Each structure stands twice: as C-alpha cells, then as structure tokens.
Amino acid sequence: MKKTVLFLLLIGCAFAYAQQTTTPDALMLRFPDVSENEITFVYAEDIWTAPKSGGLARRISSNTGMEAFPKFSPDGKTIAFMGKYDGNNDIYTISNEGAGLQRVTYHPGTDMVIDWNPNGEDILFSSRRMSPSRRFSQFFTISSKGGNAERLPLFFIELGSFNEDGSKLAYQYLNRQFRTWKRYQGGTASNLYIYDFKEGKSTQITTYEGTDALPMWKEDRIYFLSDRGENHKLNIWSYLISDGSFRQETRFKEYDVKWPSMGPDDIVMENGGKLYLYNFDTRQLTQVEISVPSEHIQTRPSMKEMSKNINSYEISPNGKRALFDARGDIFTVPAEDGITLNLTYSSGVAEHSPHWSPDGKYIAYLSDKSGEYQIMLQKSDGSEEARPLTKNLKGYNTFLRWSPDSEKIAFRNYDGSVHYVKIESGQVTEVDRNRYGRITDFSWSPDSKWLTYSKTSDDMQGVVVLYNLDNKSVTSVTPAYYSSRSPVFDQEGKYLFYVQDRSFTPVYSPYDNTWAYANASMIMALPLEKSTPSILLQENDMEEIKEDEKTEENSDTKDKKKGKDDKEEKEDNDIKIDFDGILTRSEILPMEGGRYGGMSTAKGKLFYISAKLRGVGGGSRSGSDLMVFDLKKKESKEVIGGVRGYELSSSGDKILYSSNGDYFIIDASPGQKPGDGKVNLTDVKSVVDPKEEWNQIFYEAWRYQRDFFYDKNMHRVDWDAMKKRYEKLLPYCSSRSDLNYIIGEMIGELNVGHAYVGGGDLERSKYIGVGMLGADISSEGDHAVRIDRIIETAPWDVDERSPLKEPGVDVAEGSYIVAINHIPVESSVSPYASFQGLNGKTVILSVASDANGKDANDVQVTLLSSESALRNRAWIEQNRRYVEEKTNGRCGYIYVPNTGINGQNELFRMYQAQFAKDALIVDERWNSGGQIPDRFIELLNRPITSYFVSRDFEPFRVPFVGNSGPKVMLANEWAGSGGDAFPYYFKHSKVGPVVGKRTWGGLVGISGLPPLLDGGFLSSPNFAFFNLDGDWEVEGYGVDPDYEVDNMPEDVYKGVDNQLDKAIELINQSLENNPPVGPKIPAYPDKTGIGNE
C-alpha cells in the first residue's frame, strides 16, 4: 500500500510542477550584472536576462551544472560568463538573446569572469593557471573570440575594475567573497588599490580593518562593497578620487549586499535574494521585481539511488538481512533472496543509526521528525507504523545498541555522555560522561545488567569502566597507566576483553634516528571473578567419571526441584564480578603488538580488526583485516582481509562487512573468500522530494551549529533569530547550490573561521580534462602551438618534472607543436584546445622549429593532468637558489605549503637536505593549514648539544639531524589555520623572528561532523585556541610578524620579493654578529700518569 501511495504522490508532484511554470517575484537571483536596458543574473544555476524595469525573465543558458558571473559587454549585446559545459570552469560567451554560444578558454584550471575591457573586445578573467600557489589568482585578458591569454603585470590579484579608458585598474588582491565569515577583521581583510599601467605602480586607497571589496570604477568615483557601517552589514560605499572622501550609498540592515556589479547608469546588487538597482544620478535604490518562467527541474521529485549515501549498517540477529541508513531512510536488504524494504520513506525527515533487537522483533533508529532526534521503534518487517520511544532528547544522539534481553537501548550523545532507555517505560537514564571527549565504545554484558566503555582519566589515559544498572555504580577496572579502550564481554560473562596500548617496539627513521611506536596495541583479557582461571591456561583432557544412577524421584519432588533449578539457573546467569584486586588480573593475549579495535564476541570466539599504521610495514590491503581469536585453541586466524568495518550478528555466526563501498554477509569463521556474499543494493532507492530534503538539511545545519559549536552561547548571536531570518529564503531555493548559499549566510553570522558548507546532490556535467606539457605555451596561427618556456624544477625533483624534460625527450623552448598523434593541432581558439581529453595520456608530439611544421620530429611524452605542483616546485627552487646566492651558500630555504601531511613531508624533505647549513629560512606564505604543527616546531627547534668523534673521521653532531643556527620565518595574509599556529609557535618557542604580514586568524578548529542528508558537508568550529595566560588569541585577528614587510603585486611580478630580502638581511646580520662555531676537536688526553704515581 505504501508503494502505491508513494507512486501516486510522485505523479501528483510531477503534475503540479508541470503546471506551475512561472515564479512570480522570484528570489535567489544571484551574481547579477546590468547593461543600459537589461539585467542578467543566475537563477537555478542558469543564466537569465530581464528588463531593468522588471517583469518576465528569459533563460539564456540551460547547461547541466552551474553557470556564474555573467557580464554584459559594453554594448550590452554579448554576455561573458563562467560555465561548466565540459565539467571545468571555463569562460564562454553568448548573445544577450541566447544565441551563438562560444567557448573562450580551455585551460583545466578555473577561469572566472571579472569584467570586460572597456575596448569591448577583450574579457578580463582571473585564473591560477600560472600561479605557484593554489591560494591566489592572477589576471588575464583574452579576446572574446578566444586565442592567447595575456597576463597582467600583477603577481596576485582577485577582483577589479578598469577605469573608462583602461589605463588604470582598481583592484583587491585579497578575496573573501566566497567565505562564510561575516564582520571579519583578520589579516586577510581586503583593501583596495589603484594600479596605473603607465607608471607600473599601485596606490592603496582604503585602510579599513574590515572588508572593502569589489571595486567598481565610475568616472571620478570608485564604488565598492564594505561592512564599515554602524551595523557592519555589507553595503555599497564610494570613494571620491579627487579628495579621498568616503560616502555610504546603501543602508541595508537585515541582509548583506552580495556581488554588486556596475553598468552604464546603475549598480545592480542582490540582497536577501532580491535584486536592487542603485542609480548613479539619483542615488536612489529600486527593487526590481522579476518573474521567472522556469520548470524548476532541480526541485522535481525523482527516484534516487540511496546506496551511494549509506552512513551506517547493521545485521539482523540471524544474518538473513542487512540493515542500512541511506540518505535518511532505513532499509533492510536480504542477504540472498527477498524484497528490499524501505521502512521510512521520508524525504523531509532524517533517520539514522538503526539497530536490530536481538529477539528480531524491532528495529530502533533515530529520527528528527519532531524537530529533534528521538529514538523510534518499528516492527522489523515494516508492518506497523513506527512509534517514538523518547520525546525529550536534545542534541545529537547516535550509536544505538540493544541490550541482549531486548529490553533496553544504550546510546551516546556527542557531548560525551552515554545513556540508556527502557523499552517498556521510555525512561532515559544518563550512565556517565567523559570530560575529555566522546565515549564511542560502549557495549552490554550478556545478562544486560552492565555496560562497559572507556573514558579519559585526569592522567589523560583511557580507562575501562563498568557501570551497574541496578546500583548505578561506576568502577574503573584498568589502571590509568597504559591507555585502554574498546571493552567487550565474552558471551559467558567470565572475561572482559579490551585493547591496551602497551607494546613498545619502535620503528626508527633512516633520516634522523627518531622513532615512532606504530603498532602499540595489545588485546587484554580480564577474568571478572577471582576464581576464574587464566584464559591462557592449557586445556587438560580427562576421562569423565560417571556417578551411580539414583532412584527416580516422584513428580511433585521433580516439579519443586525444577522450579528451584530454574531460579538458580537464572541467578547463575547473572554476571559475578569481584572488584577486589581486579586491577591486577588482566592478561595479554598471545599476539604481536598491532593496531587493534572493533572487538565483538561469539561463543568461544573473539573477533577484532587488525590494521597496520599507514606507512609502516607496508600497511595492509585496501582496509584492515578481520581476525578471530579462538579462546580454546588460543590462536588467531584471518576471517577476511580488506575490511573497512564489520558487524557480528546476535547469533554470533554471521558477519556483515564493508569493503570498497560494497557490503557482504559471510560466515563468522576463518578463511572466507573475498567477494562472496555480496549484498545486492540495487533496490536501495527511493523518491526524493528536493524541497522537503532541503528543508531538513537547513534545519539540520542550524542544529549542528547549536549542538557542536565550541561556545554554547554562540558568540552571543541570537541563534533562534538567525534561523528565522534565513528560513524565510528557503521556499525560494531553485537549486541545491542555493541551499548551500543560504546556509553559508546563516553560519557566517557566527563570525568565526572554519565555518564551511558545500557539496550535496549538485548537478554535475561530465569532466573532460586537458593534457598539460609543463610549459608556458601560446598559439601561433591556426595550426601551431609554440613552447614559450619549459618549467624547470630542481635537479633532484624527478617526481615533479615537465614531460618535455623527461630523459630522451629533445624539445627546445621556442619550438612548435604542429600535430598530436599525427593530427594537426587546432590552435586558433586556444593553445590548449587540441589537448582536451589527453590528461594523463601518452601521446606523440610532432615538433618543428617553425610554425609551418617543416622538418618536424616526433617525440613521445606522457601529459600531465595539472601543472600546479610543478609550478610550485619551480618557484621553490627559484627562491632556494636566490637565498643560496645572497648568503654565499650558508642559508637553506624551506617552503611549507600547509600543515597537513603534504606540508609535513615538504618540511621534512627540505629540512633533511639542508640541516647542515649555518642558517635556515622557513617560508610558510600561502600556508593553507591542516594539523596543529607542534611537531613542525620540534623539528626546527633542535639545537646542537654536543659532538662525538672517532678515529680517522670528522666529528658528528648530536642530535644527528639538528640545527643551532639562526632561523627566520616568512608569513603573509593568506597563511591561516595551521598556517596561523605555525608562526605563533615559532615565535612562542623563540625559534626566530617572523617577517611579512599578519596572518588569516582562524584558530577555532574543526574535527568533523556527520554528513548532511544528501552527502553534503558542513563544519561547526568546535575547539578554540587560547594562550597560556588564559586569553583568546589569534582567532579573528591573526599572528603579527616581528617585521612587517609589504610585497606589492607589481614588484613580485618583476621578481622583487621584499619579504624574502628582509629575511636574508636578518640571516646575514645574525651570521655576521654571531658567527657559528663548528666542532673543535680538543687535544687528545694524556693519561700516562694516571695510576702510576
């Protein structure tokens, strides 16, 4: 019946959408621009135009995927925009009537339309195609018909506007328009500049500590976006060039002005999803009411495959079915034959964390149908409607676990607490709370009277705890000396198994003799009673001695005895625990140290996950190994390899495991074959109503911030009011990207870094890559591509090298590619056009000395997919050589692009090669963050403490890889997050001074949240930095340099790096004032007199 109703509902929805084709007074009209007579904007990810006076809009583009930043040509007849017709952000043009679509750029990087050149022929766009860092853009101009792009002489620049004759450019080189952080005043706050092309110099025109952005040059005024007003909302301001005065032009108070753009007579802007025109002459603001005749294709209910959005999985008691929560619905899927059941069918409701009762009758799960997540109970066959078991839960609860008697459910909250609820009464009891983090590993005893879990002690060690449901006692059963976790009872209630980090077998680095204890875990067994024998006790087989049979008892006696025996048997099944001396009874199971977890038990068996630390011992297959320890035989065997996770059935004889996105049900015994028992997920699908789903995602995003944000007071922002402000825009969402925009605006009100939203079920066009040569190239005529410059890295950078520099490839700069795989190149529209679809491919290039192709030779190369890493390495080597030259080889240069694993590797790669230098410059400009970089500082802060010498050889230092010389760090406005912490710790540890500019200021970090319903992501900053004096620091401000030095874009473009020069100056001064003292071997001792006097 449910399926019939759903099908009819789908037909009804489709009919309704087909009928409603026009949206009166549409909102969510984004990225607008204005000409003399028309407005263009993005709605439902397509480009539209409408009269300036308002009225009915006309669609100009209809491609899958998002188009953005439409800009009218000066005559208003052509629109340039950024589109994804081939899965990449490129520049396209189309007439204002929607005809003549033409692709302009073909580079695989993102090309974003900024504006038209006043000449009406060329398009100004930003791109990172030639940038040595992915953190900043550069400006290029290109003919609207395509061809070669010409770079402007500014090394970094993000947004800008020409004056009327194109001789000057108002610009900003920092850009936060895509950031969801309002009222920001940190180091990356943007100011405005004017660049004079004739003079080759920039002049700064704003110095406000907040946001000044998106300059628009109109005659003697530069209009711009700023939050410098009383309520710090983004509004339009203007700067009068003649006297340097400022004037506020708009005064919006509820929503920020977004993406204003200038036409001949007006500025068009979005505010609260609506479009407004500001007239230059009258200085009046007018709302433009526009109707959009759209079929709303992205809001149409449709069938979706949910198996791509599985978040958790369980197995039925006897292993006959698998249980999933997928995209907010609960499914049961047969192991072999049968029907896939969707138990919930709810686009606008999220259900998660399902668990099957051991008696097989019910499935429990969490649902936000009431507006807060509550535990629901539903018959496992779906024959009855679900009923709420709880009514007053708050916050984010998860990880439901039935008790073995099917009478209780334990669950945890992200606030560090564990609870259980009684099925009969719905009474909720808090079990315990971890002050240092979340409790993630609780499990039940076989008699359902105990819960066990681990929590963090004040000694910062994990301890295993037992909680008694009868008397509510909490008892630690492991000492807070080694860290313990993942406890689980055996099925007879005799032992408690747990994991303890107590294996000390170091792995030494071949670089610097440091060590790591990678495989630290051991599995422990704790006898719960004093009288319980050691689990390692050897079996002793003996003959059974039978007693003589006794005279048969009468029936009354037998009945009485049976009742007594039943009572005693029930009492005997209760677990008995002797707490006296319990801390001393644990034993180590016979297995090597490893990385163990995920333990569960069946009769006589202990199942566990074994995983090698990545990078140590070669790791394991794609995933970990599922093992079983036989309690009788005292040995471990592999059940299956390549496991991402698993669940053991209540019966103990079936396992559901995941591997590479698939799920399998197998026997719970050793030697299972990979691929057997695959669960068919074909029918894990359902109809999704996007509007209902988007509503759920919006309120989920609001709750996530409420429940996870590090400050319960929400920075004193009225969070309920923010929900009401932005939920008003929800009905006007025409695409999933609109929803991300609304959520981003809402979380931006918290005024905090690391508040991000993105992804989800977005429309995407198929990506077509472009093969790259690792060179600057240009078109020469219609059928030749000139190799202008081959990007060259350091001699040792064989892992990042241009294909044209590979051994055996003889191609010179200034030569021409005339054919690829013997097909003549088509270079008239772009030098990259003929390289489409060839990324990562091996090709034959026909290379000639001139564009006519005479005497062409064939060379075979493998093309790159991206040049980003190559250009970064080339820039690093350029700086290293410069430092080497300016310090006479005495100073090393290290570049750290981020504080993630890549940045860690780059730091160590360059440090181990240069640690013997007299000094070091550490460059973290444009550092994009990652880990908290305390270990980075440990590496850099290793002063030499002594020397050793042996016969015939030079002395060696201790530490073996250390440096006592002067060090200077470079930082700038783009460095943030871990890139804030790195210079902070560098200064705090007195490693050396910092040169450059104030950093981003984002040290309220993120540690992950559950995904949104359709797979989208949201972050809630949940741990905040404060200093040793007890003050909040860095967040929203940044880290000041010891020496503030500007680098202007035009100077860096010319090869002048003032910041690097200052660092070199400080190093040379330090080396001159405090020359390093090398090892001086003392005179060898004369010990002839010792003991001879």
Q: Which of 50, 61, 62 is CA-nearest to residue 25?
A: 50
Q: Which of 603, 605, 597, 680 is CA-nearest to residue 643?
A: 597
| d(C-alpha 905, C-alpha 913), whole Å | 12
Judge whether 861 and 845 are in contact, CB under 8 Å. yes
Residues 800-810: tens digit of each pLDDT: 999 999 999 99
| d(C-alpha 912, C-alpha 407), whole Å | 60
| d(C-alpha 213, C-alpha 936), whole Å | 35
Contacts with 341 (C-beta within 8 Å, 6 or more apart), sequence order: 331, 332, 381, 382
Residue 569 has pLDDT above 60, yes or no: no
Residue 12 has pLDDT above 50, yes or no: no
User: Which DSSP symbol is given to 1065?
Assistant: H
- Buried-exposed string 258-297: b where 16+ CB fall within 10 A, e elsewhere: bbbbbbebbbbbbbbbbbbbbebeeeebeebebebebebb
Whether the bond into 983 is cis, omega within 30 of 0: no
**What is the side-by-side order of every strand in the sheet holding 967-971?**
891-895, 919-923, 967-971, 994-996, 1043-1044
| d(C-alpha 435, C-alpha 432), whole Å | 10
Q: Which of 907, 911, 902, 942 is CA-nearest to residue 924?
A: 907
Contacts with 841 (C-beta within 8 Å, 6 or more apart), sequence order: 771, 862, 863
| d(C-alpha 255, C-alpha 233), whole Å | 7
Cα torsion angle, 1033, 1034, 1035, 1038, sign: positive
Q: Tokens 């009277």 identify what position?
A: 449
Least confident of 161-165, 819-823, 871-875, 1086-1090: 1086-1090
* Residue 977: half-sphere exposure toward Cβ, Cα within 13 Å: 18
Residue 15 has pLDDT above 50, yes or no: no
- Mean pLDDT within 1054-1070: 98
| Predicted local distance difference test score (pLDDT) of residue 481 | 96
Structure tokens at 126: 């930003």
Alpha-carbon Rg of the chain, whole angstroms?
Answer: 34
Q: Tokens 């006479």 identify what position?
A: 888
Angle between helices 868-886 and 1058-1073 (to 10 degrees): 40
Judge whether 30 and 43 are in contact, CB under 8 Å. yes
- Mean pLDDT within 396-402: 96
Residue 9 has pLDDT above 80, yes or no: no
pLDDT band at 315 (very low <50, low <70, confident <90, very high): very high
| d(C-alpha 269, C-alpha 492), whole Å | 70
Q: Tokens 């092309």 identify what position?
A: 197
- Mean pLDDT within 1051-1071: 98
Residue 684 has pLDDT above 50, yes or no: yes
| d(C-alpha 895, C-alpha 783), whole Å | 40
Domains for the chain: give ranges and CATH numbers. Answer: 22-294 (2.120.10.60), 302-535+578-667 (2.130.10.10), 685-757 (3.30.750.44), 775-864 (2.30.42.10), 870-1002+1038-1073 (3.90.226.10)
**Phi, then psi, of 420 in degrees rounded to 5:** -140, 155
User: Which DSSP symbol is given to 330?
Assistant: E
**In 714-812, at which residue ranges do the beta strands (DSSP E only) sit?**
757-758, 775-779, 785-790
| d(C-alpha 16, C-alpha 541), whole Å | 77
Judge whether 277 and 52 are in contact, CB under 8 Å. yes
Q: Which of 773, 867, 767 is CA-nearest to residue 825?
A: 773
Q: Which of 940, 876, 917 is CA-nearest to residue 1067?
A: 917
Residue count of the chain: 1093
Helix, strand, coil % over all residues of the chain, rounded to 5: 15, 35, 50
Q: Which of 293, 296, 252 is CA-nearest to residue 274?
A: 252
pLDDT band at 550 (very low <50, low <70, confident <90, very high): low
Q: What angle do CA 1, 365, 733 make, to 5 degrees?
A: 75
| Predicted local distance difference test score (pLDDT) of residue 18 | 40
| Predicted local distance difference test score (pLDDT) of residue 563 | 56
pLDDT band at 440 (very low <50, low <70, confident <90, very high): very high
Structure tokens at 1050: 């035009």
C-beta neighbour count of 347 within 10 angstroms = 22
Residues 43-52: tens digit of each pLDDT: 999 999 999 9
| Predicted local distance difference test score (pLDDT) of residue 22 | 62
| d(C-alpha 701, C-alpha 707), whole Å | 10
Which amino acid is located at 760 in the chain?
G
CA separation, residue 274 to residues 265, 271, 287, 524, 678 (Å):
19, 5, 7, 64, 51
- Mean pLDDT within 78-104: 95
**In 84-226, at which residue ranges do the beta strands (DSSP E only) sit?**
90-95, 102-103, 111-116, 122-127, 138-143, 150-151, 159-162, 168-172, 193-196, 201-204, 212-218, 221-226
Residue 572 has pLDDT above 70, yes or no: no
Across the chain, what does the average pLDDT equal? 93
| Predicted local distance difference test score (pLDDT) of residue 199 | 97
Judge whether 1020 and 714 are in contact, CB under 8 Å. no
Question: Residue 1093: helix, strand or coil by DSSP?
Answer: coil
Residues 596-650: tens digit of each pLDDT: 999 999 999 999 999 966 554 444 445 799 999 999 999 999 999 999 999 999 9
Structure tokens at 123: 């398009």
Which amino acid is located at 880 in the chain?
R
| Predicted local distance difference test score (pLDDT) of residue 3 | 38
Element (H, E) at 885: helix 868-886
Judge whether 854 and 786 are in contact, CB under 8 Å. no
Q: Tokens 């043009």 identify what position?
A: 93
Cα torsion angle, 791, 796, 801, 803, sign: positive
Tell me whether strands 474-476 and 484-489 are parallel, antiparallel or unpaired. unpaired
Residue 1092 has pLDDT above 80, yes or no: no
> Ramachandran region of residue 69, left (φ > 0), alpha (ψ -120 to 50) or beta?
left
Residue percentage of the chain with pLDDT more than 70: 94
Cα torsion angle, 813, 818, 820, 821, sign: negative
Residues 348-387: tens digit of each pLDDT: 999 999 999 999 999 999 999 999 999 999 999 999 999 9
Distance, C-alpha 809 to centroid of its chain: 39
Judge whether 39 and 275 are in contact, CB under 8 Å. yes
Residue 14 has pLDDT above 90, yes or no: no
CA separation, residue 921 to residues 155, 630, 958 (Å):
22, 57, 22
Residue 332 has pLDDT above 60, yes or no: yes
Residues 774-796: tens digit of each pLDDT: 999 999 999 999 999 999 999 99
Q: Which of 926, 1003, 1002 is CA-nearest to residue 970?
A: 926
Judge whether 124 and 82 are in contact, CB under 8 Å. no
Residues 700-730: tens digit of each pLDDT: 999 999 999 999 999 999 999 999 999 999 9
pLDDT band at 8 (very low <50, low <70, confident <90, very high): very low
Judge whether 126 and 157 are in contact, CB under 8 Å. yes
Which amino acid is located at 286 in the chain?
T
Question: Residue 919: helix, strand or coil by DSSP?
Answer: strand
| Predicted local distance difference test score (pLDDT) of residue 20 | 45
Least confident of 12-26, 250-264, 1010-1024: 12-26
Structure tokens at 791: 């990007």
Residues 196-229: tens digit of each pLDDT: 999 999 999 999 999 999 999 999 999 999 999 9
